[in-house]
Amino acid sequence: MDTEGNGTQPPDLVEVAALPVRSGELDTRATQAWLIRPPRPVTPRATSVHGLTNEVLAAEPTWDEVGERIGRFLGTFWICAHHAHVDYRVLKAHLPEWEPLGVIDTLRLARATVKNLPAYTLDFLIMHLGLDLAAAPAGGRHRAAFDAYAAAQLLVVLARQYDTFEDVVAAAVPPGLPGAPEPEPDLTLW
């Protein structure tokens, strides 16, 4: 999954996309993406990143109109994103009652799986691992559907290096986020 914001603090969502991964395969038929008209204007800096302008978003629904639908689609499943704590926190602020089973961070997973790379950006990992993005949704990098597809591809490639889902979770879920393994208690002699 991926989110794009309007560049304000705290950010208003302007795009959300999610792509289910089932049994290690991307279910592209079930991809969902939403454009959202934010309550505050999109900043020029944000537009320079994702290309979404206030004019493009003017006819789109507001969060109040689509937020519940997005929450239902995300459900209580595991979510995955690159630098996932950012997407999780923004979505959680917009959907306070929503709680996924867990949050897999492909940045964290890549750092644990592919050691000593000069960078761990999504762009670098796409190139370094030779991810095939030919079937990615239109829009290109920094559009939510494209980035959700890239993160899902990255998850599938990296997860193959692990024997179990629990091993992936141990490597990929940031502490303090849903699904993080419980730390082992400090054992003492007394």
CA torsion angle for 45, 46, 48, 53 (degrees, to 10)?
Answer: -120
Intra-chain end-to-end CA distance of the chain, in Å = 46
**Residue position matching structure tokens 């800096």:** 45
Structure tokens at 9: 């603090």
Structure tokens at 120: 């761990």
Supply the pTM of this predicted model: 0.93
The span from the CA of 37 to the CA of 13, in Å, is 8
Query: Which pLDDT belongs to residue 138?
Result: 85
Q: Are 173 and 179 in contact (CB under 8 A)?
A: yes
pLDDT digit string, tens, across residues 68-111: 999 999 999 999 999 999 999 999 999 999 999 999 999 999 99
Query: Which pLDDT belongs to residue 189?
Result: 67
The span from the CA of 99 to the CA of 113, in Å, is 27
The span from the CA of 80 to the CA of 67, in Å, is 19
Listed as ranges, residues in the chain with pLDDT below 50 are none
What's the farthest any 2 CA atoms get from each other in the chain? 67
Query: Which pLDDT belongs to residue 119?
Result: 98
